[in-house]
Amino acid sequence: MPQYHQLGKIPHKRHTTFKKEDGSIHYEQLFGTIGFDGMSSLMYHLHRPTMVKEVAKSYSVAPKIAEEKNMLSLAMEGFKVPAENDYLESRKTVLVNSDCHIVLASPKHSQTKYFYKNADCDELIFVHKGTGTLKTQLGNIPFGYGDYLLVPRGMIYQMHFDTEDNRLFIVESKRPVYTPKRYRNWFGQLLEHSPFCERDFRRPNELETFDEKGDFTIKVKKQDMMHEYIYASHPFDVVGWDGYNYPYAFSIHDFEPITGRVHQPPPVHQTFETDAFVVCSFVPRLYDYHPESIPAPYNHSNIDSDEVLYYVDGDFMSRNNIEKGNITLHPAGIPHGPHPGATERSIGQTVTEELAVMVDTFKPLMVTEEAMKILIKDYHKSWLD
């Protein structure tokens, strides 16, 4: 997040002695991205963050590909993904390419026995159902319905839920996830025409510091393997930090839609960008106000990207028979558009209550075996009269 933030106690000068009450020193760690060129934070630990006792086990968590050359429009019933007790086991990868994994999860319980770190990917976690707290090394962020949680790669975290009925839509991104550059000025400040401003981003607000030694399991995901590391100190032992690289939350309900006299294209809904895909938020808004406007989108050929839509709430104007939690994939190479009757239905409407998240990937997505379990039959024929 390109905003400076600070929590807890830090020394006056970086890379200098910062003593504890007993005279010993804190252990400084630089947490940065893109080598030493990207955003970074400096954190101060009570114990060395490097005290590995053992690597208990390593195992593959690679998704099983069912269909590599996808050329069919697909729909899936996301809420049919089974609920699981464990957070990581609940995560079912449904679509993948070499830049990102698209994951559905319905975890029933909080992570309490282990910590988790994705070493390869930023994780963008959209909360469709449930409330709780994202606990991280750099502090805690409460979350609820409609929140995007951005966890930067390498951040050790736990998900704590208040509820048992939780539904998450997750994008694991090998490319760094940012807000669109065109909404930021030369200094990084969000511009006046941006659909969100700094006040909408919730940064870690509570830093819990644990001075504990023992056996602490951190599950580290790297290159489709999970490695269970046992560390000698509690990973949340940070007394203070400052910098730009930290987890944050942004609610889809705080996205201010940009509307026009005639139909506005998907980029007006853009919320996040990477150099491999974009994420858009379709939110309740007034429809186009030209007296002869057609609010439903035109048919379009997304020649350069596969389009994934995750339906959250409200009636989706261009689709028939779409339920909450459904996902559609409209692959590059073939046009798609409103379902029969949707264009006509939209004429004269003044408002939409639709709520959806879209991920457009520039490389084709492959369909996994987990996706095949929740597939809606013959969606690709749903445009026939």
List the catalytic residues.
Answer: 263
CB of 256 to Fe ion, least distance (A): 22
CA distance 308 to 328: 6
Beta-strand pair 115-118/213-222? parallel
# chain residues binding Fe ion, by CB under 5 A: 1
Q: Would you report the helix, strand and coil content of the chain in percent, each value rounded to 5?
A: 10, 40, 50
C-alpha to C-alpha distance for 48 and 240, rounded to whole angstroms: 14
Q: Looking at beta carbons only, is 99 or 307 nearer to Fe ion?
A: 307
336 is in an annotated binding site: yes
Collapse the DSSP code of 108 into the 3-class scheme (helix H, G, I; strand E, B; otherwise coil) and give the result: coil
Within residues 295-324, the interface with Fe ion by CB under 5 A covers: 307
The 3 state secondary structure assigned to 165-224 is CCEEEEEEECCCCECCHHHECCCCCECCCCCCCHHHEECCCECCCCCCEEEEEEEEEECC
Min dist CB 38 to Fe ion, Å, is: 32
Compare residues 117 and 319 and give the one whose CB is closer to Fe ion. 319
Helices (H), 262-350: 342-346
Give burial (CB, 10 Å; 0-12/13-18/19+) of 355. Answer: buried
For Fe ion, give the closer residue by CB, 220 or 332.
332
Residue 317 C-beta: closest distance to Fe ion, Å: 12
Q: How far is the CB of 283 from Fe ion (least distance, A)?
A: 16
> Is 160 marked as binding a ligand?
no
Residues 102-121 that bind Fe ion (CB under 5 A): none
**Nearer to Fe ion by C-beta: 163 or 321?**
321
The residue at minimum Cβ distance from Fe ion is 307
Does 339 belong to an annotated binding site? no
Q: Which of 251, 253, 254, 40 is nearest to 142 (CA)?
A: 251
Query: Which x/- pattern over 257-296 shows residues binding Fe ion (rule: CB under 5 A)?
Result: ----------------------------------------
CB-CB neighbours of 55 under 10 Å? 11
Residue list, annotated binding site for Fe cation? 300, 306, 336
Residue list, annotated binding site for homogentisate? 336
> Which stretches of the chain bind Fe ion, using CB under 5 A?
307
